Amino acid sequence: MPFQKTETYTLKEATRKLEGYCAYQERCHKEVVQKLKDMGMIPQAIDEIVYHLIQQNYLNEERFARSYARGKFNTKKWGRNRIVSELRQRQISRFNIDTALKEIDDTAYMETLDSLSKKRLAQIKETHTQKRRKKLADYLLYRGWESHLVYGKLKELIP
């Protein structure tokens, strides 16, 4: 097996690299720490770089959470449950998750659920009423829409 050369970084090089990584796209602390570990940085250097990124405003959990919630709702049409679940996996605090959810307008949320439900229902070829309901419910629940909203929408669209 040939010898693999692993790249090593000085503190300055790693800091510059991570500044670019964070400037390109919002990142959470967990992603940044993992990136530094993958680069082979020692815990002390990781702490120092993360501190620097926070001080220089490259890294901001609240900003990340807000941006993430907005993006996933607007582009992927995710419901609040899925967004909360994904933010929890990234170890975002409850406070920041609550702040992020405020980015989603209630009116837009309900309009999105309505249009998403109608669009999906038109795609379901199943003729049996109960199976149609189940397919639509599974689709919406998987995307993180709250069950009471999903079942209310089912009653409305498939009486």
Q: What is the pLDDT of residues 56-78, one digit of tens each?
A: 999 999 999 999 999 999 999 99
Taking the CA atoms of the chain, what radius of gyration do you get in angstroms? 21
Contact at 8 Å (CB) between 27 and 64? yes
pTM of the model: 0.86
pLDDT at residue 1 is higher than 60: no
Q: How confident is the model at residue 145 (pLDDT cuts 50, 70, 90)?
A: very high
Quick one: which of 49, 129, 133, 34 has its CA closest to 91?
Answer: 34
Cβ neighbours of 2 (radius 10 Å):
4
Quick one: which of 144, 153, 151 has its CA closest to 118?
Answer: 153
Quick one: which of 32, 142, 139 has its CA closest to 157?
Answer: 139
CA torsion angle 98 109 26 56 (round to 10): -50
Q: List the structure tokens of 31.
A: 């992603």
* Structure confidence at residue 102 (pLDDT): 93
- Reported as type and span, the H/E element at residue 113 is helix 106-123
Q: For residue range 2-31, what is the model confidence (pLDDT) as tens digits?
A: 555 556 788 899 999 999 999 999 999 999
* Structure confidence at residue 3 (pLDDT): 52
* Structure confidence at residue 2 (pLDDT): 52
